[in-house]
Chain A
């Protein structure tokens, strides 16, 4: 952090501009280094990144997430190397003579499931669904939450009362009952999962954004923008939104693992993605009857789910610390 301190200190010295007719008080003469332009100002985002880079847990989590993304994108290629697609049944040696899953071996690195399918291949493909649902539904939820929260907090009054009550209603909805009802009407699909998860997540984002907007709205720079003649739309998106990004980014990284677990829950209950498409949730569900004889069956999808959730959570914590100016950053070095 020592380099940042000099960067912050430099502009102080740069106010050496001569004052026409000034009273005989001058700030410190400009230091030569400040005028050489050698010191670059860092944006708050750069500072946050520098801080995040020091957080080992967050960086390991980030690395894990990057690997996970690469793996899920290259799933077809990996499946080709493994030799088993996610829905390929090993008709010769996929099951024991008793019809039970086969344990890890050279032929199936992580064993097979109850239908003789390769667990490694299925776990890899499962990451596609988890990430897709996790990220897409979170982005939808955040977009909706930011929009509603911003409008609600900025305009206040009746608009705020109405939208806040709407958020309360959504937050008090029984998630699973709603999901079951929806699936029984429309049938289960990826799109329904994404929609259900987004629908139940946006209100929490909305509340956070609303609260922040309420306080930012009263800031003098918003009044300054108004006095310049800026319209509401400009104030909301140019002046208020950038100041909301920090909490929103933090909440987004923390929302992704929740969405992933939501998806797994839905799949576990048979309400999510339609089999035979593998997801970690429906793999866990399938393994229920076999966990006593085939430990590898629930272990690997479960581990994948656990590690992914953990990684996103740790990264979220790291991002929060990095973006929070009150964190102990000041006291380090």
Chain B
């Protein structure tokens, strides 16, 4: 999806987004005993017409961020702009008109369709909810949508259980398209599908983007998928964006040690290349988001960590030698050609992850 988007106007702007989930205990009076820091200080811009990829490990906050953007979760703090309007503090009823223009595609094609309802009424839901058309007027619209996403319109009266995973995801796509939104947030839309079906759904999404000039926020933990579809990619770690760059730039010149590690773990189709490359194996697990590390959140696992990484949060900036569009949150960005397997961190042992 290589449209020129550098000059395009922003569709979504996220500024210093913070989302905490309180952990409550107590039988009658619930006391807050802790917080999950799901998203912490994320600033992003999604430009009209582009595909922004969000990658990161499970639990790094990418789905939470997506749900904050589509107003399924309220932000703890920060600001959310959509089509130039501040929609941060809007109530559920106030947000309704915006819902038509931002839709979601969900990860699980089995869980995201109500098993007791017919496909026709599932896809017709957006019309029903937003009061568009009478019941009998909706049917041709729904069938048109079914045809658009490559489903047989005659299957209007079937139940989700009668479709395969790929077809179900197409149903989800049709539902998201119904109201002609400008933004579609796709939360791991293909990770539950077979590899062969993944390609079909990705191609469908690409075709639809071209046809309806859609903007995508595309979440995945699969770097090769994200690289294939995205114009720009944001890498997330423990609720923060650690690197943000154009898709090719990120793959060719990753600056953050975490991005390097992620890329080195991605699968390579050519076995010779795969054997030749050096894998960067990170020590330890992802720390708990309930008590995230100080300073740079990656420091307990980072091979390049030094004293300053424990104390100071590195800002997300364009580093020297990078284009303005390539932002990295690291005190010691990786130089091209640098071998991360040969460096060792110089921070106290108690700061290191096991």
Q: Are A and B genuine complex partners?
A: yes
- A residues near B (Cβ < 8 Å) are 7-8, 10-12, 14-15, 17-23, 25, 27, 35, 37, 41, 43-44, 161, 219-221, 223-231, 234, 238-239, 242-243, 245
Please indicate the chain A residues that have their CB under 8 angstroms from the CB of B112 in the complex: 220-221, 223-224
Contacting pair B116 A228 (CB below 8 A) = no
Contacting pair B199 A11 (CB below 8 A) = no
Report the bound CA distance from A226 to B126 in whole Å: 11
Q: Does B280 sit within 8 A of A, measured CB to CB?
A: no
Please indicate the chain A residues that have their CB under 8 angstroms from the CB of B200 in the complex: 19, 22-23, 25, 27
Closest A residue to B170 by CB, please name it.
A15
Contacting pair A11 B162 (CB below 8 A) = yes
Q: Does B196 sit within 8 A of A, measured CB to CB?
A: yes
Report the bound CA distance from A221 to B104 in whole Å: 11
Contacting pair B164 A11 (CB below 8 A) = yes
Please indicate the chain B residues that have their CB under 8 angstroms from the CB of A230 in the complex: 125, 129
Closest A residue to B107 by CB, please name it.
A220
Closest B residue to A19 by CB, please name it.
B200
Contacting pair A37 B154 (CB below 8 A) = yes
Report the bound CA distance from A41 to B199 in whole Å: 28
Contacting pair B175 A228 (CB below 8 A) = yes
Report the bound CA distance from A4 to B70 in whole Å: 40
Report the bound CA distance from A8 to B161 in whole Å: 8
Sample (9) of A-B pairs whose CB atoms are under 8 Å apart = A10-B162, A19-B203, A20-B203, A35-B152, A224-B112, A224-B175, A226-B72, A228-B129, A230-B125
Interface size on B, residues (CB 8 A): 49
Report the bound CA distance from A41 to B152 in whole Å: 14
Q: Which of B5-13, B81-89, B95-103 contacts its partner?
A: B95-103
Please indicate the chain B residues that have their CB under 8 angstroms from the CB of A35 in the complex: 152
Contacting pair B116 A242 (CB below 8 A) = yes
Q: Does B114 sit within 8 A of A, measured CB to CB?
A: yes
Q: Which of B108, B116, B162 contacts A243 (CB 8 A)?
A: B116
1/0 contact trace for B195-208 toward A, CB 8 Å? 01101100110110
Q: Does B157 sit within 8 A of A, measured CB to CB?
A: yes
Q: Does B135 sit within 8 A of A, measured CB to CB?
A: no
Contacting pair B207 A44 (CB below 8 A) = no
Q: Which of B126, B129, B167 contacts A15 (CB 8 A)?
A: B167
Q: Does B166 sit within 8 A of A, measured CB to CB?
A: yes
Q: Which of B92, B129, B152 contacts A234 (CB 8 A)?
A: B129
Please indicate the chain B residues that have their CB under 8 angstroms from the CB of A239 in the complex: 114, 117
- B residues near A (Cβ < 8 Å) are 28, 70, 72, 92-93, 95-96, 99-100, 103-104, 106-108, 111-117, 125-126, 129-130, 150-152, 154-155, 157-159, 161-164, 166-167, 172, 175, 196-197, 199-200, 203-204, 206-207
Contacting pair B150 A17 (CB below 8 A) = yes
Contacting pair B159 A161 (CB below 8 A) = no
Report the bound CA distance from A227 to B116 in whole Å: 19
Report the bound CA distance from A150 to B92 in whole Å: 21
Contacting pair B162 A41 (CB below 8 A) = yes
Please indicate the chain B residues that have their CB under 8 angstroms from the CB of A41 in the complex: 155, 157-159, 162
Closest B residue to A161 by CB, please name it.
B28
Please indicate the chain A residues that have their CB under 8 angstroms from the CB of B28 in the complex: 161
Please indicate the chain A residues that have their CB under 8 angstroms from the CB of B95 in the complex: 229
Please indicate the chain B residues that have their CB under 8 angstroms from the CB of A245 in the complex: 116
Contacting pair A23 B99 (CB below 8 A) = no
Report the bound CA distance from A265 to B41 in whole Å: 66
Closest A residue to B70 by CB, please name it.
A227
Report the bound CA distance from A41 to B120 in whole Å: 13
Contacting pair B115 A243 (CB below 8 A) = yes
Contacting pair B113 A221 (CB below 8 A) = yes
Q: Which of B104, B130, B150, B151 contacts A227 (CB 8 A)?
A: B104
Please indicate the chain B residues that have their CB under 8 angstroms from the CB of A225 in the complex: 114, 125, 129
